Every structure is written in C-alpha cells, then in structure tokens.
Structure 1
Amino acid sequence: MSKDEIFGFDKAEDSPGFLLWQVSNLWQREIRKILEPLDLTHAQFVVLAVTYWLECSGVETTQIRISDQAKTDPMSTSTALRTLEGKKMVSRFAHDSDTRAKLVRVTAEGKNLLKVAVREVEAFDERFFAPLGSRRKDFLKGLQGLCDV
C-alpha cells in the first residue's frame, strides 16, 4: 500500500490536525516548565484561572460552570479542584439552593499564585506567538471558531 492510498495530502505538514498536535506539544512542554516550579499542573492552572475569571465576572462559580468554561470534563475539573483545595488555592462549599452543586472561590493564596503564573504564562505566550505578527487576531478568531464547533 502506498502513502497516497492512506493519506489525502502530499506532506505531513499539510494536515491541520498533525500541525496542531505539533504546535500544541511544543507549547504545552514550555507551559509545563513554567508551571512546575509553581507546583501547578497545566490543568490546575487553567481551572484556577477560569475559576477566578468567573468569580470576577460576578457569575455563580460552580464546578460545572468552570468545566464548561474551561472545556474540560467534569471529572477532571473536580480532580483539579480537589487538588487545588488541598493546596489551599481554592475553597469549595455547598450551594445554597442546589444540593448537587458546589460553589468555588479562589483563596488569597490562590490569587497570589495565579498573579505570578498568569504573568509568566502570558509573557511566554507573547514570545511563542510572536511569529504570527499581524495575523494574531485572525489566528485567535480561527481558534475561537473551532472551540464553538
């Protein structure tokens, strides 16, 4: 069987999925290097950041809302929140009217850590995505469109 019988393109670089996988791996590897000294996994960082973002937006910050916003599965979100709670970065408590829901708040320690982590992650993002130049806004719109699918 030939390459042409399996793949619908001439070069591997013509596959958007393959390129996304490569870029994602490169980006995630560097993010891990940034977050490791802060004792955060990438999932914990995203959940912490989304939690605080929702909290600042005045939205009722439930685990399911965090999961929806982060586009993570509820079980992974719950695991990350449990770990963050153990690290005293968030506090979770029962919802007043929905016995199934848990509300989440970022603690003072969590806010302090998040401030450092976001500054470092955003600085890296600026460097990593700099080659996009003036195409950055179009790139972001494209990614947002894919998230909405």
Structure 2
Amino acid sequence: MRSTASDARMSPTPGFLVWRLSLKWRAAVDRAVAPLGLTHAQYSLLSSLYGMQRSGMRPSQRELADHTGLEALYVSKLARTLEADGLIERSRDPADTRAVQLSLTDRGSEVIRPAMETVQHLLDQLLAPLGGLDGRATARFVRDLTTLLDTPLDA
C-alpha cells in the first residue's frame, strides 16, 4: 500500500511523541508518589538531592536546578516548601554567601527512599517493552535520549 501526503500528516512527529511520553511519565509519577505526599517535581528534586548527597555532594540550589532541568526560581520555591515540610535544610554556602546549599533531613531520607522504590517499579513497567532496564533496546533508547538532551537548541 502506498502512503500519501495525508498519511504523513497523520503520523505523529518525534517531537509530539517525546511530549506525550513526558506527559505520560509525569502523570504516572505524580499518581505513584501522591500517597507519600509528594508531587513529581518534589520527587525529582528530592531524589536528585538524595543521589547527589550519596556521591558526597552538597549541591546549591543552582546546581540542583542544572541537574534536574528545572528553572532555578522553581527549585528555590520547591526548596522553601520542602524545608517547611521538614524534608530538606537550606543553608548559606560558606564559600559563597550568595549561594544556598541544600541537604536532606533524616525525615527527607525516610520519605524519598520508598518513593524511589515506587518510581523504580514504575520505570520497570515503562521499559518492559524494550526488554527492561538491562535490555539492549533500553540502552539504545537511553543513548538516543541523552544525545537529544545534549544537543543545544536555539530559542
């Protein structure tokens, strides 16, 4: 069967598919972490902070914003909310008093560990069609996504 110009217009573009996958993932994570009192954005910040702390870092809000891809102003707002909830501590960086460093509290660690397990299970479900976390197709997918994320775009 021959494809026509109208068929091409009806098939989704890569940009549309990336957008839809992003929305699907965000909604699924929101639903999964809601019983723990978190949103997807809060989860992203806390789990990133958890990983950075485990590797010996005490990141600034700016470093965490760069790592997560969230806007610095949004990270600042999230950090204030998470601090008020007793999940993180914010303190001035002794080396740069303009910078605010973040760290998880004990309560923050207690909340984020089960959330990370829940999201890991969700990720296993998402990647099952690609052979799971250790599948070759998943490795290619991660490589391709990384390439796309590392490619600068002009505004």
Q: Same fold (TM over 0.5)?
A: yes
Q: Does 1:139 align with 2:137?
A: no
Structure 2 counterparts to residues 1-149 of structure 1, below 5 A: 9-13=8-12, 15-133=13-131, 134=135, 135-149=137-151
Moved more, 43-52 or 20-29: 20-29
Match of 1:78, as an amino acid?
S
Q: What is the DSSP-based 3-state SS (H/G/I as helix, E as strand, rest coil) of the residue aligned with 1:101? A: strand
Counterpart-to-counterpart distance in 1, 2:77 and 2:32: 21
Counterpart-to-counterpart distance in 1, 2:31 and 2:84: 22
Q: What is the DSSP-based 3-state SS (H/G/I as helix, E as strand, rest coil) of the residue aligned with 2:102? A: strand
Deviation of the 1:55 alpha carbon: 1.4
Please report the RMSD computed on the Cα atoms of aligned residues, expressed in angstroms. 1.7
Counterpart-to-counterpart distance in 1, 2:14 and 2:60: 35
**What is the count of residue pairs matched by the alignment?**
143
For structure 1, which runs of at least 5 residues remain unmatched after alignment?
Answer: none
Q: Identity, % of aligned pairs?
A: 30
Deviation of the 1:144 alpha carbon: 1.2
Structure 1's consecutive aligned runs of 4 or more residues displaced over 6 angstroms after TM superposition are none
Preserved CA contact (<8 Å) 1:62 1:103: yes
Counterpart-to-counterpart distance in 1, 2:101 and 2:32: 29
Provide Cα deviations, 1:8-57, integer angstroms capped at 9, x if missing partner: x33332x0011112222222221111111111111111111111211121
State the TM-score, normalizing by the size of structure 1: 0.89
State the TM-score, normalizing by the size of structure 2: 0.86
For structure 2, which runs of at least 5 residues remain unmatched after alignment?
Answer: none
Moved more, 124-133 or 19-28: 19-28
